[in-house]
């Protein structure tokens, strides 16, 4: 056994930008979050890199191939030992479809501000807006 402190487990979420817009996905569950919007993603599995996890999750949820890019915004603590992180995701192939969400939408900066985002993802609004404004 190593004495190194246990690293936080990660949930990864992907920010896909295209033509001045950001992709958002509408949750179907749990009931408290159903109908609210998020950056798509999910839990990193044991022995999996965050980059591979993001690519796996977005393939499973959106049917697209992505390349994981740089981190965006702050770490959002979800529970002790579990942290939510956003990464830029570059579309490599495929057109996103909602396999796991109610629907998808592409928003510009103004629309992002009017969306009912899940609370956790609101932490990234400043960086997402800055990115959308620069596109």
Q: Which residues bind ligand CDP (CB under 6 A)?
A: 11, 13, 33, 38-39, 41-43, 78, 84, 118, 120-121
- Measured from the CB atom, the residue of 52 and 120 that comes closer to ligand CDP is 120
Cβ contacts of 129 within 8 Å, gap of 6 or more: 109, 112, 113
- Measured from the CB atom, the residue of 53 and 91 that comes closer to ligand CDP is 53
Structural contact between residues 16 and 23, judged by C-beta atoms closer than 8 angstroms: yes
Cβ 96 to ligand CDP shortest distance, Å: 15
Cβ 11 to ligand CDP shortest distance, Å: 4
Cβ 121 to ligand CDP shortest distance, Å: 5
Indicate the residue whose CB is closest to ligand CDP. 42
- Measured from the CB atom, the residue of 4 and 112 that comes closer to ligand CDP is 112
- 7 CA to centre of own chain: 20
Cβ 3 to ligand CDP shortest distance, Å: 29
Cβ 4 to ligand CDP shortest distance, Å: 25
3-state secondary structure of 111: helix
Number of H helices, E strands in the chain: 3, 8
- Measured from the CB atom, the residue of 14 and 91 that comes closer to ligand CDP is 14
Question: What is the secondary structure of 2-56 as a DSSP string?
Answer: --SPPPPEEEEEEE-EETTEEEEEE---STTTTT-EE--EEEPPTT--HHHHHHH
Alpha carbons 16 and 2: distance in angstroms, whole number: 37
- Measured from the CB atom, the residue of 102 and 118 that comes closer to ligand CDP is 118
């Amino acid at each position: 056994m190593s004495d190194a402190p246990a690293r936080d487990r990660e949930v990864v979420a992907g920010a896909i930008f295209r033509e001045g817009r950001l992709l958002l996905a509408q949750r179907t569950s749990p009931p408290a979050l159903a109908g609210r919007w998020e950056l798509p993603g999910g839990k990193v599995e044991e022995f999996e890199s965050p980059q591979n996890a993001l690519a796996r999750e977005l393939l499973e949820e959106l049917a697209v191939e992505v390349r994981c890019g740089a981190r965006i915004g702050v770490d959002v603590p979800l529970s002790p030992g579990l942290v939510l992180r956003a990464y830029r995701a570059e579309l490599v192939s495929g057109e996103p479809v909602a396999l796991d969400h109610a629907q998808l939408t592409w928003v510009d900066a103004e629309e992002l501000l009017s969306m009912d985002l899940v609370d956790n993802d609101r932490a990234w609004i400043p960086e997402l807006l800055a990115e959308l404004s620069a596109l």
